[in-house]
Amino acid sequence: MPPKPVKADKDGPERKCVLTGGKSDRAALIRLVVSPDGEVLPDVRAKAPGRGAWIGVGRAELRTALDNGKLKAALFRGFRRRDLTIPADLPDQIEQQLERAALDRLGLEARASTLVTGSDRIDNAARSGQVHLLLHAADAGEDGNRKLDQALRMGRDAEGSGLKGLVIAAPRTILSSALGRENVVHIAVIDQGAARRVGEVLARWHGFIGFGSGDRPCESVSQGSIAAAAPAGAAADAADEGLTTVHE
């Protein structure tokens, strides 16, 4: 059951992508900021102070815009300064932050008891209609996925609809580390608000890296170190340090 695309809320904050000119809710976009020494850095949690520029493109499009100079030109206009340095690994940095934000969100929801793990518990919750979002690890077995997908459809009275869980771009080892639990292969979000929050961060991460439900990715650029990563939020807080306003 994939998360719904993030649409602009009439009453919510909209931002304009500096590359495409398209407008969307900020939850669907990625914020870029400038450090005091002029380096462009990602701020996917949108917490750093000062002026920001927003992008709403995927990794491949960003790489093209970085290579052909379109990104630099757009940021010159957006930040109203020309002494900018754009790191060659900006797409990698964004992917790492998006993945970290998604995994941190899952960890927060686990501590808030808005999700359950374990095939038997998920099956029971799904059949009773309690599951708002069903997630599968990238290396989950097809048989296990199929059984829980069927339970989800039965609980939603949606048999024959094709409704199914969302495959996450992370294997069970990474999900287990994020949730602080052993052998997390499947996750069921049982709170509607939590399902929206998780769905938004997953949609933004998956959208950026071009990952579709059912894909079986190799290890991403950031997954090699996530199992030993800092506690939830620490990486983002560290990345935010030193970022300041851009003076016009």
Q: What is the pLDDT of residues 6-53, one digit of tens each?
A: 444 444 589 999 999 999 999 899 999 999 999 999 999 999 999 999
Do residue 51 and residue 166 come from a single domain? Answer: no
Do residue 77 and residue 183 come from a single domain? Answer: no
pLDDT of residue 212: 80
Q: How many CA atoms lie within 13 A of 240 on its CB side?
A: 15
Do residue 103 and residue 67 come from a single domain? Answer: no
Do residue 165 and residue 210 come from a single domain? Answer: yes
What is d(CA 74, CA 120) in angstroms, rounded to the nearest whole number?
Answer: 51
pTM of the model as a whole: 0.81
Strand residues in 92-132 grouped as ranges (E)? 115-117
Degrees to nearest 5, angle at CA 99 with 137 and 183: 30
Q: What are the tens digits of pLDDT across the range 64-78?
A: 999 999 999 999 999
Assess if residue 139 is contained within a domain.
Answer: yes
Assess if residue 166 is contained within a domain.
Answer: yes
Residue range(s) defining the domain that contains residue 38: 14-91+236-240
Residue 66 sits at φ, ψ, to 5 deg, of -70, -40
Beta-carbon contacts of 163 under 8 Å, excluding residues fewer than 6 positions away, are 1, 149, 152, 153, 156
User: What is the mean predicted confidence (pLDDT) over 114-139?
Assistant: 98
- The H or E element that residue 188 is part of is strand 186-189
Do residue 100 and residue 82 come from a single domain? Answer: no
Q: What is the largest CA-CA distance in the chain?
A: 58
The dihedral formed by the CA atoms of 55, 56, 58 and 62, expressed in degrees to the nearest 10: -30
Question: By CB neighbour count within 10 A (0-12 exposed, 13-18 middle, 19+ buried), where does 113 fall?
Answer: exposed
Do residue 85 and residue 99 come from a single domain? Answer: no
Q: What are the tens digits of pLDDT across the range 189-217?
A: 999 999 999 999 999 999 999 998 544 43
